Structure 1
Amino acid sequence: MELVRAALLIPVIIVLVAGLPLFYITIPLTAQGERAAARLCGLDVSSARPAGTPGWPWLVRRVTSAGFWKQDLPMVVIGLVMSLGSFVIAVSGLSTAAVLALVPWHTTPENPTTIVLGVWATTQTDGTRMGWAVVLALVLLALTWLLLWGTGALRMLLVRALSGQSEEERLSRANAALSAEVGHLAAGRATLVDAFDAERARIERDLHDGVQQDLVAVTMSIGAVRMQLQALATGAQDDGDGTARAALLAGLDSAQERAEAAMRSLRETVHGIRPAVLTERGLAPALRDLAGRAPLPTTVSVRGEAAAGQTVSSPVATAVYFAVSEALTNAAKHAGPQARAVVALEVQEDQLRAVVTDDGVGGASPQAPGATGLAGMAQRVESVGGTLDVVSPSGGGTRLTITAPLTPPWARGE
């Protein structure tokens, strides 16, 4: 292989010398050819230079990058020197071996052969006694092959060393990726803080408008009953016809009803924080319970339900549950009065996928102005290492795919 490459690159040398004005074009192309040849030999190498379809913009980007001077140019120059060396080794070794192998056949008393090695010289007239020349030719062929193989291996090391990203570039890219991740986490943290504030405001509103009002009514009903009992005890009110007793029972009934209403309001408020069915029975039963309370007809299908109850961590289950809940709420608001929804949960070995589909009007987009619900869902899922994919063609319904690991990255120490 090294001999073939050396022979092929000799014309390249001539072209390069004759076409020095095309230096900035031939160097990147030749370097890419070296890398392509290395890949054909089974070496996994890639260029850190700008990607894209070869052309004038591609060449301009390559030449103006530092990699042209740090990688492409040294690779081509050293590669051409090595190719010249390989060509000289191959021609010298093969021609010498051929001569040595043919010498015994041409040596006769009428045509003697004189061999000179430094200060030592000998003249042979009998070719049958020159078998050592054939052995020497075979040794020379083996040595030539070893030299070419070593040169080829050295060339592969050169291509690998001068391909890919330098340590500085890797650190720069890693820092850029880390900065982007920090920005993403900061945005997610801000969203979570806003979500917590909104949740606190919701709890305060629910307690004020629901539970507090019911408890005030209970207090007033009990106070009225107490006043009636005091009136009966002091004789200020006559209960000869049972009217006072009926009023007492009505007051107690009213107090009980308002107390039960307060309990229901409190239960709904707590359910919005973390449903008991999710904590006690797992994600799949919680989604079925959610579908039963959804504002539009919803069916649920589950694959891997046993794994869903055992392997899905609490943070992931909570994030997926509330993302599905938000998706059903959005579907009820925007999909249309006749819309129906389907929730499909699939739990695999290392991740889960929840797909919420409705047959509404479509047209949903996380980038649309005012699409805070979808954006909040995406960031909620991303907070546990998951992703949210939205497919919602206009007039074709909406399909939300939630993919998340069974355990969030930060719980795995990543």
Structure 2
Amino acid sequence: MDETSTTPPDGRSRLSLAALASVIVGGLLFCTWFWISLTMLFTGLGSLPAMGTGLLLLIPWLLLMQAAVRLERRRAVAIHRIPVILPARRRSWRTGASGWIHDRWLELGSAAFWRGVLHHHLAMLVTGAFFVLFLLLVWTGWTAGDIALRHGPLEVGSVRLPRWILGLICVATLVLSTVTLVLGALADRGLSRALVSGSEDDLREQVAELAERRQGAVDAAAQERLRIERDLHDGVQPRLVGLAMTLGMAKNTVRSDPDRAEALVGQAHSEAKAVMTDLRQLARGIHPAVLTDRGLDAALSALAARSPVPVDLQVELGRGAGPALDREREAVAYFVVSEALTNIAKHSEAAHATVSVTRSEDVLRVRIEDDGRGGAQVRRDGLSTGLAGLTDRVRATGGRLEVTSPAGGGTVLLALVPVGPGHRIPAATGPTTTEEAPR
């Protein structure tokens, strides 16, 4: 992620001598670099049809623009005291020279970069105009003062300008030249505020998104905690109580009835193994060992093999498409498939299911489809929270879960999980169902 905010030390925006000097520097750049930059750009674009030779100009121009945009941001903070707010952008997962090249390429796709390029040229154009006017006024004042001091009154046609009039013109033009610099600095600051600083709405949007993702993670953790508590209370705890009672009876009868005590110990042994199986299933629900040891493909294959409903599984993770999936995204994909297959087996009355897990450079797509009776919905009433928990899990990664389940038409679950750093999946544009009903 790129930095999102740069704030001046005192947080105030005021005009300074440095701002006036930046108008002069901008004017000098307008007279030189502005025209060089435009020449490189348009010559490069015009030369692209000639076997791409225009790239020899466009690539250096783009690299120079990236450096210029960074300098403009620093200038906005240092000279105009403007806080710079930038939306987060993607960063390369690669290292070395390839990572540097990839970073440059990713930067070209950001709107903030092109706003910066536009600002760079507009700032030179605006400050150049004020700089030219400043030079004309200074020249006029200097000329008027020189004539007043060295030659005396000036006759222009039939009008005679005495020395005091020439002196007044000299002082007035020098004052106007200073005003011109001030107006140029104000215009430059206005451009920086409009095109470089960004909008507070961008920052609010990022905060809202992070808050939503955090809430999704909190809701998913709460759902998982409730599930573990329910499984322990309703499943493992009664069996452990029964195991303790069986061992207690065996202890009481070990001397009086050895045969019955032996039978009770054997029963307790079988029950202990069953409890261990339950605990393994519970631990698999938290984070399956096969997912850590053998990866997502093997873990999904194990899920498909255990499913009572026949499952066609297709996994294409595209190893060379981008960074390796981290543990969080692998777990999300695993639990989406696990919960979906469990729901299919319990509620859908389906005869067949299809699971497809595909991955592009930026998105991991998990699609589960069955031919059951449909009717699945997402609701948060505390009675049927499986899909709600999956929605929260996926939302915590910046992705989204889509449920399509018409009555009698089967069910399709599509989870879109962002893979690249700083990525998110936009919210669905269509209507969403906010209830979850048993199918």
Normalising by structure 2, we get a TM-score of 0.46
Whichever structure has more helix as a proportion of its residues is 1
Structure with higher Rg: it is 1
Q: Comparing both chains, which one has the higher relative contact order based on Cα–Cα distances under 8 Å and sequence gaps of 6 or more?
A: 2
